[in-house]
């Protein structure tokens, strides 16, 4: 019985420590920023997103990218968001191994939110018209989030 209650006490102390650690980490987590991709231009044909990334960066872990684009209709081209597997596929706009992130209707309204959880290069492209939006329309950019611990503001 004695050992059991001391084990319980230890686990209580441990969970209190965990809560304290989370409280310390929380303000940092809430400092994550939210970016509308392309700002007023949103996610569209012909905008230079590579320049946009340079202008807006650096990006940090847990920042959110918001992709906003109209669902397809008679006057608007459809757009989408895909993630390329590697730099070579990104360079050539080769969608064969790309992963769908957001379909043609998911950018409507408040847009589609993507949280940059991992500290790896994210190769975003529009996958419409067999990659033409990527090759000709400049609808592509790379974001490599830095550790949120490095945020200095
Ligand atoms: Cu597109």
Distance 93 CA to ligand 1 centre (A): 12
Domain ranges, residue 24: 1-30
Same domain, 104 and 138: yes
pLDDT for residue 153:
57
Distance 83 CA to ligand 1 centre (A): 13
Distance 69 CA to ligand 1 centre (A): 9
Number of compact structural domains in the chain: 2
> Within a 10 A sphere around the Cβ of 125, how many other Cβ atoms?
28
- Residue 114, strand partner residues: 65
pLDDT one digit per residue (tens) for the chain, 153 residues: 455 566 666 666 666 666 665 565 555 555 899 999 999 999 999 999 999 999 999 999 999 999 999 998 888 889 999 999 999 999 999 999 999 999 999 999 999 999 999 999 999 999 999 999 999 999 999 999 999 888 875
Same domain, 11 and 79: no
Distance 140 CA to ligand 1 centre (A): 9
Contact 101, 66 (CB under 8 A): no
Distance 56 CA to ligand 1 centre (A): 21
pLDDT for residue 22:
55
Distance 138 CA to ligand 1 centre (A): 9
Q: What is the DSSP string of 13-25?
A: HHHHHHHHHHHHH
Same domain, 48 and 76: yes
Distance 66 CA to ligand 1 centre (A): 15
Distance 119 CA to ligand 1 centre (A): 26
Same domain, 14 and 48: no
Contact 102, 79 (CB under 8 A): no
């Amino acid at each position: 019985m004695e050992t059991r209650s001391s084990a319980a006490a230890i686990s209580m102390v441990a969970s209190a420590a965990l809560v304290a650690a989370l409280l310390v980490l929380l303000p940092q987590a809430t400092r994550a920023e939210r970016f509308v991709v392309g700002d007023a231009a949103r996610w569209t044909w012909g905008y230079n997103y590579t320049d946009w990334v340079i202008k807006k960066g650096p990006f940090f872990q847990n920042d959110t990218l918001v992709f906003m684009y109209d669902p397809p209709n008679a006057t608007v081209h459809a757009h989408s968001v895909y993630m390329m597997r590697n730099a070579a596929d990104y360079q050539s706009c080769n969608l064969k191994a790309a992963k769908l992130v957001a379909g043609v209707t998911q950018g409507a309204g408040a847009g589609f939110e993507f949280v940059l959880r991992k500290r790896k290069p994210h190769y975003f492209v529009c996958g419409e018209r067999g990659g033409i939006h990527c090759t000709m329309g400049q609808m592509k950019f790379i974001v490599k989030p830095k550790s949120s611990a490095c945020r200095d503001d």
